[in-house]
Amino acid sequence: MLNAEDIQVRMAQRGDRAAFEELVRRTSRLVFARLYLETGDTHLAEDLLQETLWTAYRSLEQLEEPGKFRAWLLRIAQNIAIDAARRGSRQKRGAEPAASVEGLRLVPAPDLGPDAQAEREELRQKVLAVLRSLPEEYRLPLTLRYLAGADYETIEMQMGVSNGSLRGLLHRGMKLLRAELQPLMGELVPPSSGVKEKKGTTG
């Protein structure tokens, strides 16, 4: 039995633009997070997001199982990121991302000097490197929560998971992330994590 989102996929496959726009609303931040993890560049990720969505729109009829829409969309994004890297199209820019996409920030830090900006960028790249090394199931929820600052409801919608599943993924993923980061920079606790953990406990 098709759920509401599966029906939207079918409607979009029949040319319903409004249905496709709703699918974009429900998944675009997820795709952007994947592209940012792949590239480490917010502006390039924005460009590749648009390319991904356009490619998906043109090839949506090829998707046979509506329930696999997110996985299919993420594969398109990954392939586009790989192609972009091969073309040598990665561009390093220092400005923050455009207002249309929420920036990926580790900590609020207005009016940073050059040294502080360099340190912040180094920290960002270290976290990205560690995130890329984590199991697939933890990368995107951690990126959405702690780098993009998305709330639980938004992440649940973007990933198509329940609140309980999401909290479990964030809890386990955060443990792995801390364990990997400690040798590099000591204890790192993302702001407003919303995940309560007690030292000395397991699970």
Summarised one tens digit per residue, pLDDT across range 137-191 is 999 999 998 888 889 999 999 999 999 999 999 999 999 988 888 876 554 445 4
Say how far apart CA 104 and CA 96 lie, in whole Å. 9
Summarised one tens digit per residue, pLDDT across range 59-118 is 999 999 999 999 999 999 999 999 988 887 444 444 344 333 333 443 344 455 777 777
Phi, psi of 132 (to 5 degrees): -65, -25
Q: CATH fold of 4-86, please?
A: Rna Polymerase Sigma Factor; Chain: A (1.10.1740)
Say how far apart CA 2 and CA 167 lie, in whole Å. 26
Element at 157 (helix H, strand E): helix 152-159
Q: At residue 12, does pLDDT exceed 80?
A: yes
Token reading at 200: 């000395």
Q: What CATH number belongs to 114-185?
A: 1.10.10.10
Domain boundaries of the chain, sorted by first residue: 4-86, 114-185
Say how far apart CA 26 and CA 29 lie, in whole Å. 8
